[in-house]
Amino acid sequence: MNKFINILFLLLLIPIVALSIFVGFDLPIEILRTSGKYLPHQHIYFLSFAILFFILGARRSMRRWIGVRMVNKKEKFQWNEEIDKKRKSQVNMYLIIEGILHLLIAMTFVLLTPKALVMACVFLALGLDHLLFCVFGNVFHLWRVGVTNKAVVVAERDFKVLYFSGLRKVSVHQQTLFFDYIKELQLAISIDNITPSNRASFRNIIEEKVNRERVHFTESFKEF
């Protein structure tokens, strides 16, 4: 989810930053026989992109916050533990980098042209959201992994639900735990989500919740 959103953000940033440069420096636009300063409907372009970025960012933010709220209702889980310190460090690093980058992008829009202020406001809000999620996640220990009768729920920088329905194989390869389903669907989480001291209990609870006649545990998972 995060990888997809970040790639989409990057692709969408290219045209809007280019527009900001043309408008801010009043560069000629030969194909339209005008210059950036006099480009018609500038405010519509900036507002349209701002709305698009806000929707994408807000959707990711809501998914994160709803995810941690869900997984922190511990009474609804048969197994529920905080993610490992190693994974927590990675999550912190990614959130801080994303937050700072969004704030720098906001500053860039402000410096390029005042007409891109709406874009700057959106990226300022998204950057602060990353940093607040980082702070709250650490202070209140929000990032956790839980197991219910129906699924494994992971809530940290990303929110994932790995259902047991249709599950056919569980395996570990390098630093990743794979869940293979029917119709060649494969979902995965980092093994660092689960603290080494909790891995045996995690494996046992998974074994209790799935139909072992249909779900194959590889040797790598049995040793997990």
Residue 211 maps to which CATH number? Answer: 2.30.29
Confidence at 1, pLDDT banded by 50, 70, 90:
low
* CA distances for 199 relative to 49, 123, 162, 193, angstroms: 44, 39, 17, 10
Per-residue pLDDT tens digits for 105-158: 999 999 999 999 999 999 999 999 999 999 999 999 999 999 999 999 999 999
Single residue among 106, 139, 172 that ends a domain in this structure: 139
Per-residue pLDDT tens digits for 149-180: 999 999 999 999 999 999 999 999 999 999 99
Domain range for 85: 2-139
Mean pLDDT of the chain: 95
Single residue among 84, 118, 139 that ends a domain in this structure: 139
pTM: 0.93
Q: What is the structure's pLDDT at 103?
A: 98
In this structure, are residues 164 and 179 in contact, taking their beta carbons and an 8 Å threshold?
no
Whether residues 125 and 173 fall in one domain: no
Whether residues 121 and 212 fall in one domain: no
Whether residues 54 and 68 fall in one domain: yes
Whether residues 114 and 36 fall in one domain: yes
- Overall domain count for the chain: 2
Whether residues 11 and 112 fall in one domain: yes
